[in-house]
Amino acid sequence: PESGQTIAAFLRTKMNIPWSQAKTLVESGQVRINGQKITDPATRIKIGKIIQIGASRPTAIPKAKPKPA
């Protein structure tokens, strides 16, 4: 994912779910970023943060790989 992507967009892409479901997951308090509950689907995420959905295991956003020269 790109740094600055919204949490809803990240969830939609990673989980292959509709926007409405991604938004509901966030607004219902089922998503945490680095342990902090997020309820705004427009929250921007950054590379290196840990995202947890419900009681699932945390998922780290991998750091960007250097682009070949």
Tens digits of residue pLDDT in 43-68: 999 888 889 988 655 555 666 566 66
In this prediction the pTM is 0.72
- pLDDT > 70 in the chain, percent: 75
Tokens of 56: 């699932």
Residue 25 is predicted with a pLDDT of 94
CA distances for 46 relative to 20, 36, 37, 58, 67, angstroms: 22, 14, 16, 15, 18
Q: What pLDDT score was predicted for residue 47?
A: 87
